[in-house]
Structure 1
Amino acid sequence: MIEGLQADRPAASRLAYVTLVTNADYALGAKALLRSISLTGTDADSVVLHTGGVAGEDLAPLRALGARLVQVDLLPTSTSFNEAHARDRLHGLAPFTKGGKPRFHTPLDNFAKLRLWQLVEYERVVFIDADALMLKNCDRLFHYPEFSAAPNVYESLADFHRMNSGVFTARPSVATFDMMLAELDTPGAFWRRTDQTFLQHFFPDWHGLPVFDNMLQYVWFNMPELWSWPAIHILHYQYEKPWQDDHPKAEKLAPLIALWEAFAGDGPVPVIASLPGPQG
């Protein structure tokens, strides 16, 4: 057993879609994501990395959907690193100005996704944030090089130089993981957008995925001309989450919230290509 990981069963494939669950809210998101992945007909494993504080009752629906559950420890980072990336301090130094992060969002926990590089039982993995849906089969992504990610485009094309870490390709390797740990927590380290900033630093020559492989929900109202249901493979609910009761953009994003609710339930899901667009 690799230190920091505890799996509930062996791998069934050499390929895996991986997500991260650090609390009950992200378990809700992961349930919809896992169902969406299963509906694409993939033969790859679905793996949920989860921290020890997530209750068994929140994990049970994920196991029922066929997920392989892997309990992970938070990274062994220093006290100064943890203080610098605590929610209130980080958001104070690097406030979000375009949208809001829910209270259950814990920035320091984001770094736990780096443990996917310890999943050496897999040859190739695709990471997907738990606040996303897979709308079309994405198995082709397993053949993309490490490290591939889509640009962080949701307001203007000027953002193409920044990547979004909600979807990326990786090749598990203990050596890579060890190099990451050595690079992550150096004196005075501050990663403005946590894992996203760190991964762009660690993989400066990252390969670009099409925006349709990680379509950010704000494109719906900021760049409607870029939206194309037939082309979207993964829809990512960045900032506000579709299951939030106090959703400040619920009216603007109502069709996308309704879509998430369909996948989060047990009933039929709509034919994606037939959905009306932002101006439909």
Structure 2
Amino acid sequence: MSVALSAADAGAAPRHSNAYATMMYMGTPRDYEFFVAIRVMMQSLARHKADADLIVIASTTVPPRWIRTLNKEGVKVVSVTDIPNPYKGMDGFNDRFMFTLNKIYAWSLTDYERVVMLDADNMFLHNTDELFQCGEFCACFINPCYFHTGLFVLKPSNETFQDMLEVIKEGRENNDGADQGLLTAYFSDLLERPLFTPPRNGSKLDGLYRLPLGYQMDASYYCKSGCGGGFFFFSSFFVWCARWRAGSFMYLSFTLPDLRLKWNVPCGPNSVITFPSIPLLKPWYWWAWPVLPLGLSWHEQRRKSIGYGTEIPILAAESIFYLITMTVSLVIRRRFSSSEKVPLKSCLGRCPCPDLTQFFYRLVAKLSPVVAIVMCFVLPFFVIPTTVHPVMGWSVLLLGSLSYLVITANVFQLPVFPTMTPWVGIAGVLVVMALPVYVNGIVRSLAIGTYAFLAAPFLWWALRVVASREVGFAREALMAYGRQEPQQSAEMMKLC
């Protein structure tokens, strides 16, 4: 197997004896989002004054402008060719793991004594340079039986790198076809190794070690001040929309995490939080909050590092558009509120197309406003940049959906309050979930459940009102059609 490796910023010698590294490759629906995540993580390490080089192992397909951006931010980019994945034909293989085997390039960074290899979804709480004292390979067991490859320490070695390439070439057993399966099989006895404790004299250890859990705390369980986490009811709709937006309709499996919701690991420092859950609930997505409260902490790190300069103009333009649209719609509604609304009824009722039955008319009349109301939330969701701050994202979604709901109420001549009930419900659940008053996750879950129980009758009432309004509208139109004279019907046929 032939691979190539070269420094993108040629001539740049290592400034430190150790390095933090991550990888970046193209070909997923969310390449840009991971580029943003990598930038935020690297800048976070720099703010924590990491005494190490910051390296991105980037595929040759990564856009040159992204590489230039990383270089300007003090990150060394190592350009590599993608390692062909021999497991891509296995059952259940996920295409987004196609080039995760590039992670083994970390063993080729022999200019360094130790390398901490990272996934982009790590959030550092403070300096972790003591990891460079660990042995030849060290990783953390989030799963009781398998270590997690989102963060591990390694001692670079060309011999190990070439041996791993041979393992890949031979296509040895790999349970997921990605780096996780490869490394857990390669270091299969890590569970039996001792727990890493940094030597006080600063020396480096030899051998293999398990890292304390505090270096890979699952964000589903962690919360800084007793706030809640977990999957709650309304979020599944937006996660489904996100999968639709990403072109993936795969089945969603939701599980409620442990509700203790506050980490305090006594056998090691509470240093790094990871987000290994559903890909579309990574912390950089604005809709991930308040489902995962730590999304705000991640975005605070982004605000302090790379900011939101590229997204704010887009959000401003969308907001102005929604405000103008809503204002015009309200003016039109007020101006024509007293005018007779016959044309729409006459067109629907007097079109004597023989293949359209009364049942079809009633079905369309019942579903059209409901579908229109749902689309009032879907449409603005799809045009909001995915990595904006959650407060910005939810604000623009609520503004955009409110604007479209006003238009929908005008077009279908719907009563205002039933039309706005879903909007009020979503705004309410956001407030309930985001309140910082809960002492633990159980109380927060009970609050969400109570809110859903109390809101459900109002939502059902609004649905019935909207549907019954349109059924009556269709019935009136059909009766009007039955009363028409043949000559008038013939004239209307020409218009339909």
C-alpha distance 188-163 of structure 1, shift in aligned 2 (>3 A) = closer
2:181 partner SS? helix
2:20 partner SS? strand
Specify which of 197, 200, 206 is matched with residue 181 of structure 2.
197
Is 2:220 the counterpart of 1:218?
yes
Runs of at least 5 residues in structure 2 that lack an aligned partner in the other structure: 26-30, 191-208, 223-228, 230-256, 308-435, 442-496
| Cα deviation, residue 131, structure 1 | 1.4
Is 2:103 the counterpart of 1:113?
yes
Q: How does 1:20-35 map onto structure 2 within 5 Å?
A: 20-22=23-25, 23-35=31-43
Q: How does 1:38-77 map onto structure 2 within 5 Å?
A: 38-77=46-85
1:265: which partner in 2?
303
Distance 1:243 1:60 in 2: 22
| Cα deviation, residue 151, structure 1 | 0.9
Distance 1:187 1:210 in 2: 31
C-alpha distance 202-131 of structure 1, shift in aligned 2 (>3 A) = same
Distance 1:276 1:234 in 2: 25
| Cα deviation, residue 193, structure 1 | 5.9
1:250: which partner in 2?
289
Deviations 1:15-39 (A, max 9, x none): 0001112232211111110111011
| Cα deviation, residue 83, structure 1 | 3.1
1:95: which partner in 2?
none
Deviations 1:177-214 (A, max 9, x none): 11111112325744316111211110123221111101
Distance 1:190 1:267 in 2: 38
Retained in 2: the 8 A contact 1:24–1:55? no
Retained in 2: the 8 A contact 1:16–1:47? yes
| Cα deviation, residue 252, structure 1 | 2.0
Q: Which has the higher contact order (CA 8 A, sep 6+)?
A: 1
Specify which of 264, 273, 280 is matched with residue 228 of structure 1.
264
Distance 1:63 1:260 in 2: 22
Distance 1:170 1:129 in 2: 14
C-alpha distance 107-19 of structure 1, shift in aligned 2 (>3 A) = same
Is 2:14 the counterpart of 1:14?
no
Count residues with an aligned counterpart: 247
| Cα deviation, residue 10, structure 1 | 2.2
2:127: which partner in 1?
137
C-alpha distance 277-33 of structure 1, shift in aligned 2 (>3 A) = farther
1:99: which partner in 2?
none
> TM-score, normalization: structure 2?
0.46
Distance 1:28 1:171 in 2: 28
Retained in 2: the 8 A contact 1:227–1:277? no
C-alpha distance 65-268 of structure 1, shift in aligned 2 (>3 A) = closer
Distance 2:59 2:116 in 1: 19
2:117: which partner in 1?
127
Letter of the structure 2 residue corresponding to residue 14 of structure 1: S
Distance 2:37 2:173 in 1: 30
Specify which of 160, 164, 167 is matched with residue 183 of structure 1.
167
> TM-score, normalization: structure 1?
0.78
Retained in 2: the 8 A contact 1:37–1:133? no
1:125 partner SS? strand
| Cα deviation, residue 77, structure 1 | 4.5
Distance 2:164 2:261 in 1: 38
| Cα deviation, residue 52, structure 1 | 1.8
Retained in 1: the 8 A contact 2:221–2:262? yes
Letter of the structure 2 residue corresponding to residue 175 of structure 1: E
Q: Identify which range, 190-199 or 46-55, moves more after superposition.
A: 190-199
C-alpha distance 25-44 of structure 1, shift in aligned 2 (>3 A) = same
1:96: which partner in 2?
none
| Cα deviation, residue 12, structure 1 | 1.3
Distance 2:438 2:179 in 1: 32
Is 2:5 the counterpart of 1:5?
yes
Please give the root-mean-square deviation of Cα atoms over the aligned residues, in Å.
Answer: 2.9
1:279: which partner in 2?
440
1:100: which partner in 2?
none
Letter of the structure 1 residue corresponding to residue 291 of structure 2: K
Retained in 2: the 8 A contact 1:27–1:59? no
Distance 1:232 1:131 in 2: 16
Distance 1:39 1:12 in 2: 17
Distance 1:188 1:25 in 2: 32
Letter of the structure 1 residue corresponding to residue 271 of structure 2: H
Letter of the structure 1 residue corresponding to residue 44 of structure 2: S
Deviations 1:79-130 (A, max 9, x none): xx33338xxx414xxxxxxxxxxxxx72021110111111111111111111
Which has the larger share of strand? 1
Is 2:146 the counterpart of 1:162?
yes
Retained in 2: the 8 A contact 1:6–1:70? yes
